[in-house]
Structure 1
């Protein structure tokens, strides 16, 4: 028998909507799972046990009254701790924001709550999202569920570890230069960095404004698309948000791919690529071809300069954005006249 915490987001929402499952039973199973494995992997900074159970009870009442339920009704969602949640501390895994409690929700949080999702907790990350291992958190490192002596990737390592251990079927992360994609790969789950402007950044604590995006992590492709359906869309509060009409990503997942054309950049298979990874990628491309898609090898010569450009942009924007956390105007400060600053 499958444990309730192992169900996909799609299965959970369908069962709750059809009165085949109570949200409280499901969330209780998730909380028990968190208690069993969290001490080993340290995926969370904050676990919202009481809040999650209260919201589950509210959703069960709506279901029994026959009210319309959202597309993520009752589904537990883990949230990276650089996304603002009203009344719930949001730390960026930094001592500077250890006790920061936002007075508002990020747009993506508003959209999750509108679809009756349940926030199970805030996940660990590299401090201010600057890292690729989730080892630089003030609250301690997150470990890879597949091997506790390995890193889970970063900076959204807590979200990836939470999904990989089934402490949540879906999670939100943010990606500037691989911070969703790398942890998803390291933890053997699905992760997507959306097109810039597709998902509102309102309420995301900034690291590098012109590069970062909030995106979805999930145990399967459908759930990843389902979460993207919920969080994407134009937001007037984000000046970089784009107005674009698109079909449901979850619906597209279930359609055939006969007319799909895939460009395969030759530069992706250059120096440093593990032969096993190369083999797996080409195997996936061939599988898509067998299903009716076509592919063509292409060249992106400017990729040679991409990493250098990334570091110039990301570090410049980070130094500007993080300058406010100086302990004078904002953030942690030490009030001790005896402190010898020359020792630092």
Structure 2
């Protein structure tokens, strides 16, 4: 299978064993973006030079024997309502077409600290107000499984990029389904974390009492890996909860006997 279709945890193992380099992985994903982006249109901004530079840095640190986390060297995309220092953040709106934030969102800073390779900023419904990613001011994103269909929204670019192999994982935001619905439409995994678990600092708000940032990934294991990094209290977000963050991967094979699932009636 092509590298860009593997999961983050599979690729992490290959990187740690030096079966592949971070630069090779970044090159494979960037090549995939060039191959399919004209049809899928998942990205508003592609940060190729920055991605290659980070990947090289990961390889250098690994060669020097530095201990790196499981997401080091993994290519990822960011929904374009997450502030990124020196990289434009448009919210898919002409109003912010040339806005370049002076700081990173907390989740971006956390992932950067783990040396995630950012491939760019992903399309969305303008200001996250939509559910199809047809309402971007720049262009609609298409569903990689059927280009005549929508990928859902508002995090449609994030979902489409992961499904198409244009990113190994992505971040989105969810107010009323904007991670979960496009993940469903594109056949991947999307998680809206419990409110307050993940800092909203640096997210351009839609509804602050409901917004949460979360991962879109190929499988549940990858969701746990990303949540391990982005969860946690942030003094810059007074609504983030000061709770101890577990290793979510330890729950992957845990016994679920006695767990109840509530399904609301129509």
Common fold by TM > 0.5: yes
> Structure 1: how far apart are the matches of 2:187 and 2:71?
23
Aligned position for 1:235:
234
Mind listing any 5+ residue stretches in structure 2 that lack a counterpart? none
Aligned position for 1:314:
none
Aligned position for 1:265:
263
Question: 1:256, CA displacement in angstroms?
Answer: 3.0
Question: 1:150, CA displacement in angstroms?
Answer: 0.9
Q: Which range moves more in the overlay, 60-69 or 247-256?
A: 247-256
Q: Which range moves more in the overlay, 155-164 or 67-76?
A: 67-76
- Whether 1:45 and 2:44 are equivalent positions in the alignment is yes
- The answer to whether the 8 Å contact 1:133/1:155 transfers is yes
Count of residues in Structure 1 that have an aligned counterpart in Structure 2? 266
Equivalent residues in 2 for 1:108-147, closer than 5 Å:
108-147=107-146
> Structure 1: how far apart are the matches of 2:137 and 2:263?
39
Partner SS, residue 37 of structure 1: helix
Partner SS, residue 260 of structure 2: strand
Question: 1:5, CA displacement in angstroms?
Answer: 1.2
> Structure 2: how far apart are the matches of 1:76 and 1:59?
12
Instruction: Using structure 2 for the length normalisation, give the TM-score.
Output: 0.97
Question: 1:119, CA displacement in angstroms?
Answer: 0.5
* Greater RCO (Cα-Cα under 8 Å, separation 6 or more): 2
Aligned position for 2:27:
28
Partner SS, residue 120 of structure 1: strand
Aligned position for 1:244:
243
Mind listing any 5+ residue stretches in structure 1 that lack a counterpart? 271-344
Question: 1:254, CA displacement in angstroms?
Answer: 2.8
> Structure 1: how far apart are the matches of 2:112 and 2:250?
21
Q: What is the RMSD computed on CA atoms of the aligned residues?
A: 1.1
- Whether 1:19 and 2:35 are equivalent positions in the alignment is no
- The answer to whether the 8 Å contact 1:17/1:73 transfers is no
Aligned position for 1:325:
none
Instruction: Using structure 1 for the length normalisation, give the TM-score.
Output: 0.76
> Which one has the bigger helix percentage?
1
